[in-house]
Amino acid sequence: MRAHPGDYELVAPGTLPAVLSLLAQEPGGWLPIAGGTDVMVQYAAGELPARKLVSIWNLPELRRIEVLPNEIQIGAGCTYTDLREHEVVSREFALLPIAASWTGGIANQNRGTIGGNIVNASPAGDSLPALMAYEAELILVSIRGERRVPYTSFHIDYRKTRLAPAELVRAVCLERRFSEYQGYARKVGPRRAQAISKVCLAALARLGDGVVEDIRIAMGSVAPVPLRLRETERIVRGQRIDPPLVQLARRTAAAETRPIDDIRSTARYRAAVGGNLVAEFLGRLSAGKIKG
Ligand SMILES: Cc1cc2nc3c(=O)[nH]c(=O)nc-3n(C[C@H](O)[C@H](O)[C@H](O)COP(=O)(O)OP(=O)(O)OC[C@H]3O[C@@H](n4cnc5c(N)ncnc54)[C@H](O)[C@@H]3O)c2cc1C
């Protein structure tokens, strides 16, 4: 059944402290709405349980990217277009603007936010593997103050996160230490544009004298939460990439995924493609065909 606007209340306090104070008055009672590109889909389908919405769209405190000497802090309210257009993000954290470029069409990229992608917590969220690979930290904020949590521990289970009621994601922090790394990202969907991922990959590696000194491989849509492939990383780290290692990594990655059958794909396909993407990444890495 379609929703009726008269059944909903929407307020826009306009500043972060005012939003936090409203959330604190009734924890869990108000649903934050940023770009609305996930919330409005639920609304239009008549599937939005929340009746009281508080707008956090364009709050100045959430819509800025701070470049500090050792890290950058991307406000949770930054859109995909903000990420694509930011010079430091594009130069030092290229996996993020690549993922942003896959996310819906231009209208969606002008409206959808990184914070919304994180808290919506779909395993298919396209920017989430990049955040895993960079080992981002999140700054969460409530009326009681701020806390920092590693992004790798933020997603607890399918669509369950560590965010407390009355808390917002304020910013995503990325350490500025990836200049020596080569990055690779790939989305596999039913078509190239406007498609939800069947599998998506974000990976980083640093080579020294042909040896893999460090490697981070993260995947979406292959488990209830975005997944770091720790076992695959372990067998590759410290090795030279050769065909037997690529085959071992392919099998290990496929075995490490925990996909399901759903309307978009099958578990078998997802595991096989996940393995193939890892093999593709390692093949290109050893051939010197990717950079930064
Ligand atoms: C046509 C279309 C195509 C799409 N294509 C893709 C795609 O290819 N890949 C992809 O990953 N996604 C896609 N999406 C989903 C969506 O655009 C993204 O998930 C987007 O990042 C959501 O951001 P938002 O600001 O619109 O979130 P909203 O809809 O405003 O909010 C989503 C959820 O996050 C919460 N939230 C938002 N910001 C915060 C915050 N700062 N703190 C706490 N909670 C917060 C809200 O309460 C809500 O629960 C698509 C959506 C549409 C409509």
| Digit-coded pLDDT (tens) for 23-36 | 999 999 999 999 99
Q: Does the structure show a pLDDT above 80 at 292?
A: no
What CATH number was assigned to the domain covering residues 182-286?
3.30.390.50
The pLDDT confidence band at residue 229, using thresholds 50, 70 and 90, is very high
- Nearest CA residue ID for atom 1, ligand 1: 104
33 touches ligand 1 (CB under 6 Å): yes
Report the C-alpha gap between 104 and 193 in whole angstroms.
7
Read off the pLDDT of each residue in 5-22 and give the average, rounded to a whole number.
96
Atom of ligand 1 nearest to the CA of 119: 34
Kindly report, residue by residue over 57-112, the tens digit of the pLDDT: 999 999 999 999 999 999 999 999 999 999 999 999 999 999 999 999 999 999 99
Residue spans of the domains in the chain: they are: 8-55, 65-175, 182-286
pLDDT at res. 139: 98
Q: Does the structure show a pLDDT above 70 at 14?
A: yes
Q: Which residues pair with 32 in a beta bridge?
A: 54
- Nearest CA residue ID for atom 52, ligand 1: 37
Tokens of 190: 């039913």
Report the C-alpha gap between 276 and 208 in whole angstroms.
24
The overall average pLDDT reported for the chain is 95
Atom of ligand 1 nearest to the CA of 40: 29
Q: Does the structure show a pLDDT above 90 at 288?
A: no
Q: Does the structure show a pLDDT above 80 at 290?
A: no
Tokens of 196: 């939800």
Specify the CATH architecture of the domain 65-175. Answer: 2-Layer Sandwich (3.30)
Query: Which of 273, 278, 154, 137 lies closest to 205 in space, CA to CA?
Result: 278
pLDDT at res. 1: 65
Atom of ligand 1 nearest to the CA of 76: 41
Q: Does the structure show a pLDDT above 90 at 236?
A: yes
d(CA 279, ligand 1 centre) in Å:
30
Atom of ligand 1 nearest to the CA of 80: 21
- Nearest CA residue ID for atom 51, ligand 1: 37
Query: What share of the chain has pLDDT > 70, as a percent?
Result: 99
- Nearest CA residue ID for atom 19, ligand 1: 117
pLDDT at res. 291: 56
Q: Which of 38, 110, 113, 155 to mutate to test the pocket of ligand 1 (most atoms within 8 A of CB)?
A: 38
* CA 245 to chain CA centroid, nearest Å: 28
Read off the pLDDT of each residue in 204-224 and give the average, rounded to a whole number.
96
Read off the pLDDT of each residue in 165-185 and give the average, rounded to a whole number.
97
Domains 65-175 and 182-286 share a fold: no
pLDDT at res. 254: 96
Read off the pLDDT of each residue in 114-125 and give the average, rounded to a whole number.
96
- Nearest CA residue ID for atom 27, ligand 1: 116
Q: Does the structure show a pLDDT above 90 at 262?
A: no
Kindly report, residue by residue over 45-59, the tens digit of the pLDDT: 999 999 999 999 999
Report the C-alpha gap between 1 and 174 in whole angstroms.
42
d(CA 43, ligand 1 centre) in Å:
13
Atom of ligand 1 nearest to the CA of 37: 26
DSSP annotation of 181: -
Long-range contacts at 197-200 (CB < 8 A, ≥ 24 apart) = 197/102, 197/124, 197/126, 197/221, 198/264, 198/265, 198/269, 198/270, 198/273, 199/265, 199/270, 199/273, 199/274, 199/277, 200/99, 200/102, 200/124, 200/126, 200/129
Q: Does the structure show a pLDDT above 80 at 194?
A: no
Read off the pLDDT of each residue in 181-198 and give the average, rounded to a whole number.
87
Read off the pLDDT of each residue in 15-29 and give the average, rounded to a whole number.
97
Rg (the chain; Cα; Å): 19
